[in-house]
Amino acid sequence: MDQTIIISARCGQDSDCNPANSGGVLGTVIGRAKLPKKFASAIDPKGVFSHTAYTFPALIEVSEKLVRQAVVRSGGKIEKEADGSETLVIPVETPKPSKLEQCWEPGPPAGSKFSEAEMEKITPASFDKQMQGHVDTLFPGWKISKCGGDMNPGPRSKYRGKKNVLLTHPLSQTVACVLARQVDVPAGKRTALRLVVTHDDNGDWVLLVNADGKKLLEKQIQPATVKDGWAEIEVDLSDFAGKSVLLELVNQANGWSFEAAYWAQIALESR
């Protein structure tokens, strides 16, 4: 047993689990009653293994439970003797060595590989779909396009004292991120678009508000243009009363340094 542990420590690709596994297998074959004392004399029954909740007795209990399940699952059985002791009857089988699995090129776990039909059903959400899902949750009715991946766009549970904030970012220095919505502006009322936005601590950006391609607002969002950390903006839509208009809220780059836009409110109000 000593030599097995020494060789597996020296020759294995991983020198902690390999000697533990090889020693564990031989120790099981030898049996607890015949195990040399030097292998168990220093075990602290109250000590907890690192990164687990297991003490040694608890680990033994769980291991025994798993062994019983494995014996029955492989066709064996557990027989209870007259004196109350138990015998685990293990079926005799010819060993079938598995193929070598290199740590840098592992195969799938046994029985877990998806079929081709199952693989076709797996469609991981694209970044664009994920962002649209966030917009649907925070600002229903708006559609997002050309959002770049810098600065980890998406929802923020809290930012500068406000909850449920959406972070967007331009796709590039020349291609802006756009939030758009087709809006029916009611006749006979004063309708306004209300925005609450801010910038990243290390940057700024340009906010454009367009209606059917017409620029209604252009404003730099930076420390000098926000109050208490946020810019509260109102855009009058009265000129479009009784019409259907495409609104575009543009997160445009301004120097290409931390160009994220933070949106705390996007609301339409008619009075």
Q: All domains of the chain, ordered by start, with CATH?
A: 2-105 (no CATH), 127-270 (2.60.120.260)
Give the pair of three-digit tokens for residue 196. 């609450």
CA dihedral 153, 159, 165, 170 (to 10 degrees): -30
Give pLDDT, residue 136. Answer: 98
Question: How many angstroms from the chain centroid is the CA of residue 53?
Answer: 25
Give the pair of three-digit tokens for residue 11. 């020759």
Query: For residues 180 and 186, what is the distance between their CA atoms, to the nearest angstrom?
Result: 18
Total length of the chain? 271
Mean pLDDT is lowest, of 35-44, 90-99, 118-127, 180-189, for: 118-127
Q: What is the DSSP letter of 32?
A: G
Nearest to 131 by CA among 104, 150, 159, 105: 150
Query: For residues 23 and 17, what is the distance between their CA atoms, to the nearest angstrom?
Result: 10
pLDDT tops 90 at residue 220? yes
Other beta carbons less than 10 A from residue 47's beta carbon: 11
Question: What is the arithmetic mean of pLDDT over 112-134?
Answer: 86
Report pLDDT digits (tens) over 35-84. Answer: 999 988 888 999 998 888 899 999 999 999 999 999 999 999 999 999 99
Distance (Å) of CA 251 to CA 2, 86, 153, 165, 170: 67, 72, 12, 15, 6
Mean pLDDT of the chain: 93
Give pLDDT, residue 108. Answer: 77
Report pLDDT digits (tens) over 227-236. Answer: 999 999 999 9
pLDDT tops 80 at residue 124? no
Share above pLDDT 90 across residues of the chain, in percent, rounded to a whole number: 74
pLDDT tops 90 at residue 103? no
Give the pair of three-digit tokens for residue 158. 């809290």
